[in-house]
Structure formats: C-alpha cells, structure tokens
Structure 1
Amino acid sequence: MNVLPEMPEHGGQVELLMRAFPDAPEPFIDLSTGISPYPYPFGEVRQSDLTRLPEQGEEERLLNAAMRAYGVRSPELIVAGSGTQLLISLLPYVLERKKVVLLGPTYSGHATAWRHAGADVHVASDMDTFSEEAAQPGCVGVLCNPNNPDGRHHDPLDLLALAERCARVDSCLVVDEAYADFENHISVAGHIPHSSLVVLRSFGKSYGLPGVRLGFLLATEALIERMRKMLGDWAVGTAAITIGCKALDDREWLDRQKVPLDHAMQRFLALCRRRNLPVVGHTCLFALVRTHEAPDLWSHLCKNGIVTRFFADRPTDIRFGLPRCEADWARLEKGLNAWRP
C-alpha cells in the first residue's frame, strides 16, 4: 500500500483522505476521532443564539457550569475558548517558556503548538524521564491523562507530587484531561489552583459535539487572566454557551453514557480478538491497534469507506473510534472479516 504523502495531523478530514479512494462506498464511516458516537440531545439551536453576541451573564453561567462539572473551587480559575485546540495553541504564549518536555507518543497538537512558538521540545518515552525533565528549572511538562492515542493512565497522586516538584523550581506541569470525563477518579482538576499545575478539559469529545467548539483551561487566577486577555471578547459563541451550560449541568446524562460506551468498546475489543488484532490500550472512546500490517489494514478499510486514524510517524499504529449505529458496526465487521494480511 502507498500511504498518502501527507497525512492530516489530526483525526477527521475524511473528505480529504477519501479523495485517494474514489471507488470507496458511501456514506463514509469516520472512526478516526475519539469522539463519542452518542451526542448530547440539546434540542434545537435558537435563532436568537445565532443573531446576537453573548451577554456577560451567559458567559459567567458557562464558567459556573464548568466549575461544577470539573470540581473546581471558583469560576475565576476557568477560562473558556472555542475548542481546546485553540487553548493549546495559545498556551505557549501564556506560559512564556522555551523548554518543553512531552510524555509521548501523545496528541500531536501539543508539540506543534510549542514548536510554532519557538520552544525547544523534547519527547520522553517513559514517565521517569519525563518527570526528571519536567522538574528542571523553567521547564514545562505536558502529558495527557488518559493518554491519546493509547489510553495510558497516570495516578493523580503521582501527578500532584510532580507538580509539587515543579513548584519548587518554577517549572510547570500541563495535564490534558480531554478524555477524563468518564474517568474522573484520575483527574487533578479539583486541585486547581496550584502554582505549577495547568489542566485542559474538552467538551466535544465526551458529549459527542465537536462542532460546538468548546474547551476549558483551568489554572491560577493570574494565568487565567492572561489567557482571557489573549482570547479577547466573545471567545465562545452564544449557541456554544447555551449548549455547554445545558450539557455540563446534566451530570445524570453523562453518567448514563458510560454503560453503552463500555459495552460498545467491549464489542470492538471482541471483534479485534476474533481477527487477531492486538489492542495495546484503550479508553471507552477509542482503542489503539498495533500491528506491522497497519498500513495495509488502514488502506483496506479506506477502500471499504471506513476511515481510521493512521500515524505516519508510527506506521504500526491505528486508532479506532466507535461506530454510531448497527449499520456502521455491520460494515466495520464486514471490512475486518474481508481483510487478509
């Protein structure tokens, strides 16, 4: 198989990818993202939410809803932006550090953001090395918990101990908790404010609404104020505020999603076992398959109209999201059963 010369940096971009497979059946099935296949039922978008700018009181209600959802002490410790990716891109200019260590392999958006800002970026492959480098004076350590794309978890007590080490030398620990909504026991968000701890939380993944473009940064009041000034006025649109407030306060709905998501993931893992596909890690929203036949499998699925996440820099890895419906499950099972490595 010939891998495309330039793979997209992130999941999605289905139309772009599928130009290379003009004979693939439609509709295409996008399993390339770790987004919940079960979107929050927010109802209709009000026309008034699209014809006016948000009021200050609405923005304050959104931050209060996020405060309750993430267990933060005050809304003054939270800033909202139009997606976590925007906050990640601006964070290097808020923290103003030039030495960064990432615990990898992980979400590529972090390395891209810091490199674009002119930082010296190093990727550590194990937690001991990462911790030692992150606790160097003036350094920033960035990790995802749980990790994307392999689902690795880190004990929050270990992360808090590392944050304390960072505080003693004026370094900083950034924890991206984009996939922590269904695993709140590993979150360190409740320990904000902490002088050397920054937390990112995503909205669209767990609520199945990436198009809403909503994410949150949790940090000290001083850092939040700097990010708020950098974002400027009306950083989140009125419709996103309305949907976000409703969804974040509906904890019962979010708790109910864990059961069907766990069942769906177990179904996928069973399918992988039947096809002898080794899964090296997973959350309830995505799983990482590792095989030397990954390029061929990725191409085979694309030819069947199924898009997964292939990593050009790690050509043994494919990340799978979850199908939305029985028709999508049937096509995935048929595609995998037809694959001959």
Structure 2
Amino acid sequence: MLEHGGNLRDAAREYGRPLADWIDLSTGINPHWYAAPAPNANAWHRLPEADPALAAAACAYYGAPAMLPVAGTQAAIQALPRLRPPSRVVVAAPSYAEHAHHWGQHGHQLRQVPYAQLAGAVDSCDVLVICNPNNPTGERIAPELLLDWAGKLATRGGWLVVDEAFGDTESAASLGQHTNRPGLIVLRSVGKFFGLAGLRLGFVAAHPTLLATLADLLGPWTVSGPAQQVALAALSDTTWQVAMRSRLQQEAARLRQLLAAHGISSQGTDLFQWWPETHAEDFWRHMAQRGIWVRLFRHAERGIRLGLPPNDAAWLSLEQALTAWNKDNT
C-alpha cells in the first residue's frame, strides 16, 4: 500500500509518543469537523439502500446534474481504470499518488507529466487525470482550459478525470455542472471540507451512462446507512458551510503568514500549505520530535505539506517548532 498522511500510529510507534500527545497536520482534513448527528436506529439494522435524497443533496451542493455516492473517492479511483480497455493515460505530477498507482494497472500505458507540460500531452493520450486544486502543491488549472481539454479527449472517446477533493472552498472553479457531457468525470470528497474522513464517502459526477456502469461494477450497499444519513445532514446545512468557508479562509491566511514569518514561501488551499523543501526529511524529523506530524514528500518534488492546527495550543506549538527550526538552520 502507498504511504499517506494520517498515519499517526506509525508516528507514535517510531517516536515512542502516545497518540494523544500528537498534533496531526499531515492530511489537509478540516480540523473543525461537522458535528455529525446520531443516525436513526434502523440505519444500523437495515441494508443500506441508496437514498435518493442523498444523491439529490449532493447534486444541489456540488452543482452537478447527476452524482453517484461511493465509499470515498478512493473507491472510484480504484474502479475507473477497470472501465476502459488498455489506454494511453496521463496523470498530472505530482498529485495524489493513488491515481497513478491504479491507472498503472489493467494494461494501461501510464505517463506522469508535470502540470506545466499537460497542454502538450492532451493530444497524445486517451485519459487525462488531474487534481484541481492539486494535492499536494495546490496548483490550479483554469476551468475553461480543462473544458477545452475535455472536449478534445471526448471527440476520440477519451476521458478527463478531475479530482476536486479539495475544491469545496473554490466552488466557482468546479466542473461539476458540465458533467452531463460524455467523457468528463469529476470526483468529490465529503472527508476534506466537512472533516468527516472516517465516514468514507465521496461522489462521482459524470454522464448517467458512465455512472450506471460504475455502479454496476461497485455493486450494492457501497455506502453504509449511517454514512448516508450523516452526509445528508452535512450537505444540507448551508449555514454551517458558509461559516466554515469563512473560518478556513481566515485560518489559511494565518498559516501562510506564520510560515512566511519564518522564511517559508508556501502555496496551497484553504485546508493545507505546501512548499518545496531542500531539507525536507530533516524538517519532517524536527517536527516529529516535537510531536507535530507533517506530510513528507520524498520523491519527485521534495517538499512538505501541512494542514491547519486545530486549536490555539497547536498554533503555539507549531510556531515554537518553526522558531526552533530557524534557529538550528541559520
């Protein structure tokens, strides 16, 4: 299995520090999660039939004409490569590693192409996979350009797959409203913005024919009854959503300013910051020794990604750790 953020048990084991004594900034998941309501008692008893109200709420929230609930976008990432014959596939790099990992299987010919070179790769592939905004770097591609690429791919039966897992604070950039056209597939996650990663719920927006094929492949009862009920409440709670977007915008600015004050020029989204770091492993180890778990990227573009601290004590700990890093490395 590939390495991901959130592997706090590995950190606790390696550094001998109890789980409760860690500040986990390694995932980019909203630390101020949605207060999930208790599901109805029969949600634990009944087989989880698909609730049409959940799909309707998702369509309204994400602005897409049709959506399929899945057990986290990971389920779709693993399944989509199985829906095509061997194809020429380009995955933007660097990006969420599971995309390249799964498209590299099932007979596909895989290339990983830097964001700056994607325009030149569109005419030589059948499938183009992009995270927008990108995880981990926060890079973005304009919706107009993506739609142009989607049209080119569709004329030869190709796909544009856009992973918008971190797109909830940038709704204007989403391609969800355009997914009634063949060949455009958009992935959305409930785990990041709502802070409900443990729910294991995401959505796929695409042409209804493709959604039906994907649903057949995934089989029945893919999303638990409790998960459906919690997600329906979260997707419908516009008051919480508006307030949370404002809060995350303010905290993201605070994080950028804190990093800049310590000589770090970062980029990212309202949920995480990333920067290329020459001494990435040393920085990662320095933070871990102080009980702060950040995401280390060892390969390709070496760098560090960290999410928002959950409370004032965590902000102070991060500031102190950054000050000590500057002192030891100047």
TM-score (norm 1): 0.91
Deviation at 1:97, TM superposition (A): 4.0
Q: Give the secondary-structure state (helix, strand or coil) at the position aligned to 1:320.
A: strand
What one-letter code is carried by the residue in structure 1 that aligns with 2:55? L
Deviation at 1:54, TM superposition (A): 2.0
Counterpart residue number, 1:169: 156
- 2-side partners of 1:312 and 1:189: how far apart? 33
Counterpart residue number, 1:195: 182
Deviates more, 1:165-174 or 1:104-113: 165-174
- 2-side partners of 1:26 and 1:315: how far apart? 31
In the TM superposition, what whole-angstrom CA distance separates every residue of 1:260-289 from its partner, at most 9, and x where no partner exists? 11111111112111211221x110000002
C-alpha spacing 1:26/1:322, structure 2 compared with 1 (3 Å): same
Q: Does 1:27 align with 2:16?
A: no
Q: Give the secondary-structure state (helix, strand or coil) at the position aligned to 1:103.
A: strand
Aligned pair partner of 1:333 in 303, 319, 330: 319
Is this contact kept in 2: 1:282–1:288, CA < 8 A? yes
Counterpart residue number, 1:148: 135
Q: Give the secondary-structure state (helix, strand or coil) at the position aligned to 2:221.
A: coil
C-alpha spacing 1:197/1:25, structure 2 compared with 1 (3 Å): closer
Counterpart residue number, 1:4: none
Counterpart residue number, 1:300: 286
- 2-side partners of 1:29 and 1:194: how far apart? 43
Identical columns (%): 35
Deviation at 1:46, TM superposition (A): 3.9
Counterpart residue number, 1:69: 61
Q: Give the secondary-structure state (helix, strand or coil) at the position aligned to 1:200.
A: strand
Q: Does 1:36 align with 2:20?
A: no
Deviation at 1:109, TM superposition (A): 1.0
Is this contact kept in 1: 2:159–2:184, CA < 8 A? yes
Counterpart residue number, 1:3: none
C-alpha spacing 1:112/1:270, structure 2 compared with 1 (3 Å): same
Q: Give the secondary-structure state (helix, strand or coil) at the position aligned to 2:15.
A: coil
Aligned residue runs from structure 1 range 69-148, under 5 A:
69-73=61-65, 77-127=66-116, 129-136=117-124, 139-148=126-135
Q: Does 1:181 align with 2:168?
A: yes
Is this contact kept in 2: 1:82–1:215, CA < 8 A? yes
Q: Give the secondary-structure state (helix, strand or coil) at the position aligned to 1:18.
A: helix
- 1-side partners of 2:283 and 2:124: how far apart? 42
Deviation at 1:297, TM superposition (A): 0.9
The total of aligned residue pairs comes to: 327
C-alpha spacing 1:121/1:263, structure 2 compared with 1 (3 Å): same
Deviates more, 1:11-20 or 1:154-163: 11-20
Is this contact kept in 2: 1:134–1:172, CA < 8 A? no
Q: Give the secondary-structure state (helix, strand or coil) at the position aligned to 1:289.
A: strand
Is this contact kept in 1: 2:86–2:106, CA < 8 A? no
What one-letter code is carried by the residue in structure 2 that aligns with 1:214? L
Counterpart residue number, 1:262: 249
Is this contact kept in 2: 1:295–1:315, CA < 8 A? no
Q: Give the secondary-structure state (helix, strand or coil) at the position aligned to 2:309.
A: coil
Q: Does 1:10 align with 2:33?
A: no
In the TM superposition, what whole-angstrom CA distance separates every residue of 1:154-196 from its partner, at most 9, and x where no partner exists? 1111111111111222221111111111101111110111112
Q: Give the secondary-structure state (helix, strand or coil) at the position aligned to 1:152.
A: coil
Is this contact kept in 1: 2:94–2:301, CA < 8 A? no
In the TM superposition, what whole-angstrom CA distance separates every residue of 1:13-44 from its partner, at most 9, and x where no partner exists? 11113322125895111100011111112233
Is this contact kept in 1: 2:162–2:187, CA < 8 A? yes
Aligned pair partner of 1:319 in 301, 305, 318: 305
Aligned residue runs from structure 1 range 268-279, under 5 A:
268-279=255-266
Structure 2 unaligned blocks of 5 or more:
none
- 2-side partners of 1:254 and 1:95: how far apart? 36
- 2-side partners of 1:249 and 1:94: how far apart? 32
Is this contact kept in 1: 2:95–2:131, CA < 8 A? yes
Counterpart residue number, 1:243: 230
Counterpart residue number, 1:53: 47
- 1-side partners of 2:17 and 2:46: how far apart? 44
Aligned pair partner of 1:288 in 240, 251, 274: 274
Deviates more, 1:140-149 or 1:250-259: 250-259
Is this contact kept in 1: 2:295–2:306, CA < 8 A? yes
What one-letter code is carried by the residue in structure 2 that aligns with 1:62? L
- 2-side partners of 1:275 and 1:157: how far apart? 36
C-alpha spacing 1:301/1:250, structure 2 compared with 1 (3 Å): same
- 2-side partners of 1:118 and 1:324: how far apart? 43
Deviates more, 1:173-182 or 1:15-24: 15-24
